[in-house]
Structure 1
Amino acid sequence: MGTAGQVTMDWKHAINDFKHYLQLERAVSANTVEAYLNDVTKLCQFAEPRGILPDAVTASQLQDFLAWINGFGLSAYSQARILSGIKTFYLFMSLEYGLIENPTALIQAPRLGRKIPDVLNIVEIDRLIAAIDLSTPEGIRNKAMLEVLYGCGLRVSELVGLKLSNLFLDIEFIKVTGKGNKERLVPIGSQAIKHLRIYVEEVRIHQKIKAECADFVFLNRRGSPLTRVMVFLIIKELANATGLKKKISPHTFRHSFASHLVEGGADLRAVQEMLGHESITTTEIYTHVDRDYLHSVITQYHPRS
């Protein structure tokens, strides 16, 4: 399928060149690079044992691949995301290597429903935060961390990457780096500011911090930034401690932040700006959460319900 005189490329070299393209030309975040490479690696795992080279994949073989990953029980959302990564890979192959026929051109993503995310109510959030042991330095850090996570609606990557130099607490804003290394200013409320200051001024100041990590806000005991996995584990432990049965993650706090704003009547454009969504349609999912809330209110309080 390549152009005349083109050297046939194996999967290892194609994936490596794709990685450099994403890093240098697209300048996407490390997390996005990793996600795209995982998607193409899955296609490689399907194609390579069958003797199919990256520049020889056909639309029919891609359909077989989608059926193959469907057999692993992946959701329609996961399958659509993998296909999106593979479409980006073949766009790269067309641009860089003159691939004439793009096998993804006529492939449609699995049909998706509008998935409404799990959210916590105010009582559940208060209960989780109240379960933190404030007698330890880690507890004071965790309280500040969850107040910022919920109070600002951050992605977990934005939370662990938050810098001291990007805190503008006097004017009640923080600057975060979101997807695609795009920066945005996010308002921060008084509760989050209060606990952030306690952590920074009374706990963090006494830590031995690695020189290259001096600007990161949330640190582990070794003076390095917290990882996303560590934040996830902290939240899971709090959920277990409070007997919360919902399946939650750091992202649940972001969903809760957005849905509580929409429930309270916040302008959808303002919520979009705070969340750093590229498109308003992504933010509109929270209007569905709001409708569920309204339905529960009428069920509970209307005399005919």
Structure 2
Amino acid sequence: MEQIERPVVPALDAILGQQFKVLDNGFVRVVDYMGSDDSIVQAARVSYGKGTKKVSEDRGLIRYLLRNWHTTPFEMCELKLHVRVPMDCWRQWIRHRTANVNEYSTRYSEAIDAAQVTAPDGWRSQSSANRQGSAGVLDTAIGEELTAEEERLLKHSRSVYEKRLSAGVAREQARKDLPLSTYTEAYWKVDLHNLFNFLRLRMDAHAQLEIRSYATVIGNEIVSRWCPVAWEAFVDYRLNSVALSRLEIEVIQALAGNNVAGAVRLGIEAGLLDENGSPLKQSRERGELEAKLARLGIACPWAQPAVQSAQ
């Protein structure tokens, strides 16, 4: 019988238990792991059966799997993290339900005496184009006032909480007025396939800054050491790639053929532009198309004089 050895990743072993600081009082650290790049290859090749020839080198196979959305081999790798994260950020994190989680309980233990404080230059303004996002930062003078007010609020809420505990109030009830900026801790165990899904969404520029900070550390500092070949493929085919819809392909094809009027007509038919070929005020799909064109270095067709010829 073939002897099985547990995959070992020296680069990850070197940081096992090491805390990577995130935000002001948060951290991420690796508790344990299972598998490596080799485990992905092993899982993929077992499906070929006995006697099947080796179809590619390991790196090429991993890149093929990720490129073509063959996900199960990546589920053979698992990572267990210990994280300290603000409760409001954790609410977004826990929505990724494809993981095993055990969180610090403020029913059994006193709440962690730490809360995230926003720096004076870190207060963001509400985006006018995205109801759940931010855009730019407020003036530092305003930020200094907001930060000072926040610090007073946090100090008072903690004082109230501790006064309730001293009075004998049950921990499960005493906690109810703690702010969402209070840090919580959790063990989070996830396979590589679902971790990539998490990172794809949370490392995106549209993700909230706080959770994006955690995702960036997990990806750049941990996964890159753990499964470097799979990480490279993920960066190439997920993180830094551009997915195109049928409409977007047709618009680009029209532009490649110098048919600006045709591209505009497609936008009108799809409801991205009004009947005159002018951009509609509310069209998230059009905005995404424009961003993709800009990234590909292609001029937006409805911003050109030739738009008039589409009428």
Larger strand fraction of residues: 2
Compare relative contact order (CA 8 Å, sep 6+) and give the higher one, 1 or 2: 2
Normalised by the length of structure 1, the TM-score is 0.27
Larger helix fraction of residues: 1
